[in-house]
Structure 1
């Protein structure tokens, strides 16, 4: 199998501290992948490395997309290649309506019906919210839903969702699952960054991240079982107790 989006032997240091260690992961098209780990494991740092965020350039290793080395490409260049990131904390933009935010100020062409339908898919009334201002009038949960809608509108090849349920009530788990299904139906893939077992269970495959290292890779059920037994009660202060395990 030829993997489309690959991290090879990737490491990251910030302020002389090793954040990610020799990461090897591979993401194919049309699937949901979970990166599961406790707080402080390095999950968000991995998301930023995948997206090419400033100050998160790997210390060593490579990032490949369709065989092309994109390690040095900017966020903008990666976005042009179909990679997008949903931030853990909703972004604030002054003076933009929801419609302007979704269409990047008119740069993305979409009909009113399409915009309203996308908002409905994330649990917001299109007719009520399309002209509301993003900043000030929307709660954190509403802004997070608008961001999810913007991800759908972009039709990404790879959508990196960093703690997508953050700021959204647990009853919206089914809505998040529908968003992922929508992306996968378009042959896109979701890279799901989470510390919650019920979110990781949605994935087709899962990686367990511990102290910046991939500790295990396999089916979500197996990884979650390992996570519950080895990580929830770990006495190693987020340090892996064993070498990498293939499950």
Structure 2
């Protein structure tokens, strides 16, 4: 009995890690450039396009303000179009990714806006191109904040991945609902909670270490 439960927990943990890793990767690849654009496209900035910035800002805010469980249900037709089904681990990646994109975008935008504007002006005075300023000044200086933002995103995705279990998304959330709740097995529910806590602690610890590594001020002390 316990061997079977252990097997289920291991499989469910693998499904959760798969969902989180894929959605975090795709969401960051899309949300990262979007966040950079939002941070550099207001009036008078590097890639000034205030109208586009305003429209994208509204879309990002609207997506972020939608409760995740409602988002999952609302985009079921789109999920079926992309994944061929609305149930299962692969299908769950679709809403997870959509929720990740605006989340990452705003976090990266905030990290880049925290960079000292004087550094940008100095780079401009030295003749750096706009792309060089973005890559060698803004992103380089914002790496600690970006790292912490990605860490927060992954931690949030672990929680979201548990929520998709309520709609047949697989993973630890699905295991906790099917066995811990529906079959009245509190030990399974407890095990699921413990595994989720451990995953979050590992991700947060690694993220904090990387952010400290990238932080020039921390390395001087």
Asked if TM exceeds 0.5, the reply is no
Name the larger-Rg structure.
2
- Which structure features the higher share of helix residues? 2
Normalising by structure 1, we get a TM-score of 0.21
- Which structure features the higher share of strand residues? 1
Normalising by structure 2, we get a TM-score of 0.23
